């Protein structure tokens, strides 16, 4: 199936979960990443059970602190 990951089209296996995609994409500090699928945030506790579907758009978001 074809999904879009961080703006790039990618072919992945059917029934891929968010957790599996995070591992495949070698996301740095996965414990701090926020994931949206089709503009809907996925709770981190649901990464292992949330399956992706053909045509989905996935974004990895990192919140950074700092400043004054």
> What is the CATH number for 33?
3.10.20.30
Residue 54 maps to a domain: yes
Q: How many domains does the chain have?
A: 1
Write down the pTM of the prediction: 0.89
Residue 66 within a domain = no
Residue 67 lies inside a defined structural domain of this protein? no
Residues 6+ apart with CB under 8 A from 7: none
- Residue 62 confidence class, pLDDT cut points 50, 70, 90: confident
In the prediction, which pLDDT does 7 show? 96
Tokens of 38: 């089709």
SS3 of residue 24 by DSSP = helix
**Which tens digit of pLDDT belongs to each residue from 12-60?**
999 999 999 999 999 988 889 999 999 999 999 999 999 999 999 999 9
Higher pLDDT, 65 or 26: 26
Q: What is the extent of the structural domain holding 8? A: 2-61
Answer whether residue 10 is part of any domain.
Answer: yes
């Amino acid at each position: 199936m074809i999904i879009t990951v961080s703006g790039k089209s990618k072919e992945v296996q059917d029934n891929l979960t968010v957790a599996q995609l995070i591992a495949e994409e070698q996301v740095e500090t996965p414990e701090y990443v926020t994931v949206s699928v089709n503009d809907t945030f996925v709770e981190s506790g649901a990464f292992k059970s949330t399956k992706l579907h053909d045509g989905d758009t996935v974004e990895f978001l990192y919140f950074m602190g700092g400043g004054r």
